[in-house]
A and B are shown apart, each in its own frame.
Chain A
């Protein structure tokens, strides 16, 4: 089967840096995704990692270690609009769809 673990909630202040961790167990690996979802809205794509290492994209970076079944999303220079749920997702065992973790709700305060 597959299992994805993320912290349920995190808080941070404007301008700070926050790291959201995700650990996964899956048979076969075809990449790990991070999505951002504001309440009542559809998820929006942030990143996709299939090889080990850090991928930087503006204020957001995503890291993957396949041997450890571990990824993190790093958000720099936090802004109030970054308050959202961050979803870690991997491709299912059949290789046909995304399976999402429960998401981490990030609250950014001033």
Chain B
């Protein structure tokens, strides 16, 4: 199979603190990982694409200094929400692709998501 895990599954933090979310591909090497954000009753919005060993590519409107992404190995990417504010409360989902380019068919595997609540 192709399993992607995320940790933590949920987190509550105070405004102004930083939160780190981990995304791991458990049984395959993920050249590319993607981070999405999903607000209630909205679709997944792509935040950034990260390739192992290089800087992440952020989508327009996503602050790279606020959402720090590190893809240090072929099985782990982290998203750090710095100085979190209540408006950052959302469902963060990562996905991993076995391919180094855009996935075809069932080649992109999603993690179970992390529910972030900022008080």
Enumerate chain A interface residues (CB-CB to B < 8 A). 30-31, 40-45, 48, 50, 87, 91-92, 95-103, 105
Contacts and interface: CB of A to CB of B under 8 A. Distances in A.
A41 B104 CA distance: 22
B116 to A, nearest CB: 13
B113 A42 contact: yes
Nearest to A102: B43
A67 B45 CA distance: 26
A98 B43 contact: no
10 contacts: A30-B104, A31-B105, A41-B113, A42-B112, A43-B93, A87-B43, A92-B102, A96-B57, A96-B102, A100-B46
Q: Which interface residue of B32, B34, B105 has the most chain A CB atoms within 10 A?
A: B105
Interface string B38-59: 0001111110010000000100
A48 B91 contact: no
Given A99-B46, A101-B43, A48 B112 contact: no
Interface in B81-119: 91, 93, 101-106, 108, 110-113, 115
Nearest to B100: A96
A98 B93 contact: no
Given A40-B91, A95-B101, A98-B34, A45 B49 contact: no
B43 to A, nearest CB: 4
Given A44-B110, A100-B45, 8 more contacts: A40-B113, A41-B112, A45-B106, A48-B105, A98-B46, A98-B103, A98-B108, A100-B46
Given A42-B112, A102-B43, A103-B43, A95 B104 contact: no
B110 A43 contact: yes
A38 to B, nearest CB: 11
A107 to B, nearest CB: 13
Nearest to B110: A42
Nearest to B9: A40
A12 to B, nearest CB: 19
A92 B93 CA distance: 18
